[in-house]
Amino acid sequence: MSCDRVRKETQRDYILSQVLDVVRQGILDFPLGNEFKPYKNRCNELTVHQNCLLWGNRVIIPSSLQGEVLTELHRCHPGIVRTKSLAISHVWWPNIDMDIEDMCQS
């Protein structure tokens, strides 16, 4: 998955496009709503690189690409723990742990 795809989908994503604007402005004044809470809780650790959102070293994946990333993480069927370990090293989105568990169990 390329940085270009993540960038384009981040800009199309309703929530992430707003989070991207907030982080870029540096004001950290998030819109109201529970959907912004996971980002607000991490606001001091969010950065932007090439118009992609990062939480630490992890790329925040837009919802439109999450299924593809889950499939890639679980390609060799490493199980829940190993899949979570791979994810922690590279990507993040709200409820990623639950999404990994659901995928691995199905």
Polymer length of the chain: 106
Task: Check: CB of residue 99 under 8 Å from CB of residue 80.
Answer: no
SS3 7: helix
Strand partners, 46: 55
The average confidence (pLDDT) of the chain is 92
12 pLDDT band, cuts 50/70/90, is: very high
Question: Tens digit of pLDDT for each residue in 28-77?
Answer: 788 889 999 999 999 999 999 999 999 999 999 999 999 999 998 888 77
Read off the tokens for 13.
């994503």
Instruction: Tell whether the model's pLDDT for residue 78 goes beyond 80.
Output: no
Task: Report how far residue 62's alpha carbon sits from residue 86's, in angstroms, rounded to the nearest whole number.
Answer: 18
- CA separation for the pair 21, 3 (Å, rounded): 18
CB 6 within 8 A of CB 20: no
Report the DSSP beta bridge partners of residue 91.
59
Would the pTM count as exceeding 0.85?
A: yes
